[in-house]
Chains A and B, each alone.
Chain A
Amino acid sequence: KNEVEQSPQNLTAQEGEFITINCSYSVGISALHWLQQHPGGGIVSLFMLSSGKKKHGRLIATINIQEKHSSLHITASHPRDSAVYICAVTGERSNFGNEKLTFGTGTRLTIIP
């Protein structure tokens, strides 16, 4: 079993729908990251969080440390949101919260106009 599991692996939705991508992890962590990989291959860091909730535009990331679970939500989804969304964690032995990431395999999101 991987240390970081994402669900679903693939998600297709209509434009405007509310999207939820889930991430569960099995180790203690110091931080959790959400990344976006564009169809062209580039990777962008969306969120880094260790507790609670963060929001940026139409994207919201939440984390429940006790349940070892995080969700990424996209409101009013748009075709330009089509990408692979990757969850990653930094182990709790990290002193700095941003070393030695362990990645999930990603969720491929397709938004249909």
Chain B
Amino acid sequence: NAGVTQTPKFQVLKTGQSMTLQCAQDMNHEYMSWYRQDPGMGLRLIHYSVGAGITDQGEVPNGYNVSRSTTEDFPLRLLSAAPSQTSVYFCASSYRRTSNGYTFGSGTRLTVV
């Protein structure tokens, strides 16, 4: 049982490049979400999904796309990276009806130069 797996752990992009941050979970969790963490600010929700085929925007969705074709995977796409997207990104998942909280991935540190 691997939990939530995020790849890559580190990435450096040039402005304008595209990339996909991968997130996979093997716990059959319905709910998956992406957050970014910036110094001096709390984690902020980018996008979330309550099940396969269903996604919605969070607090800071601009510049990011997501899709949820399977229960297990929830990739985050940066179509044209900008320096403002330099951040640490976390994926998290949970059952929809739970009192046990979330399981977080180990994070991806992204630098856009």
Known A98-B94, A99-B48, A103-B44: A48·B101 in contact at CB below 8 Å: yes
Interface residues of A in 64-105 (CB under 8 A from B): 86, 88, 96-105
Min distance, Cβ A45 to any Cβ of chain B, angstroms: 3
Report which of B33, B42, B97 forms a contact with A4, defined as CB distance below 8 A. B42
Question: Considering the chains assembled together, what is the distance between the CA atoms of A48 and B31 in angstroms?
Answer: 16
Instruction: Decide: A96 and B43 in contact? CB cutoff 8 A.
Output: no
A-B contact count (CB 8 A): 71
Chain A contact residues: over half helix, strand or loop, or mixed? strand
Instruction: Decide: B50 and A86 in contact? CB cutoff 8 A.
Output: no
Report which of B31, B40, B41, B103 forms a contact with A99, defined as CB distance below 8 A. B31
Min distance, Cβ B2 to any Cβ of chain A, angstroms: 14
Question: Considering the chains assembled together, what is the distance between the CA atoms of A96 and B105 in angstroms?
Answer: 21
Interface residue total, chain A, C-beta cutoff 8 A: 26
Question: Considering the chains assembled together, what is the distance between the CA atoms of A42 and B107 in angstroms?
Answer: 7
Report which of B35, B44, B50, B99 forms a contact with A48, defined as CB distance below 8 A. B99
Query: In the complex, what residue of chain A is closest to B103 when comparing beta carbons?
Result: A45
Query: Interface extent on B, as a size class?
Result: 20 to 34
Question: Considering the chains assembled together, what is the distance between the CA atoms of A46 and B102 in angstroms?
Answer: 9
Instruction: Decide: A98 and B45 in contact? CB cutoff 8 A.
Output: no
Known A42-B104, A47-B101: A2·B31 in contact at CB below 8 Å: no
Question: Considering the chains assembled together, what is the distance between the CA atoms of A47 and B98 in angstroms?
Answer: 12
Residues of A within 8 A of B44 (CB): 103
Enumerate chain A interface residues (CB-CB to B < 8 A). Answer: 2, 4, 33, 35, 41-49, 86, 88, 96-106
Enumerate chain B interface residues (CB-CB to A < 8 A). Answer: 31, 33, 35, 40-45, 48, 50, 58, 88, 90, 92, 94-104, 106-107, 109
| 5 CB-based A-B contacts, threshold 8 Å | A96-B31, A98-B95, A99-B96, A100-B45, A103-B42
Given A4-B42, A86-B42, A104-B42, 16 further pairs, Cβ under 8 A: A33-B101, A41-B88, A41-B106, A45-B100, A45-B103, A45-B104, A47-B101, A48-B99, A88-B43, A96-B97, A99-B48, A99-B96, A100-B58, A105-B40, A105-B41, A105-B42
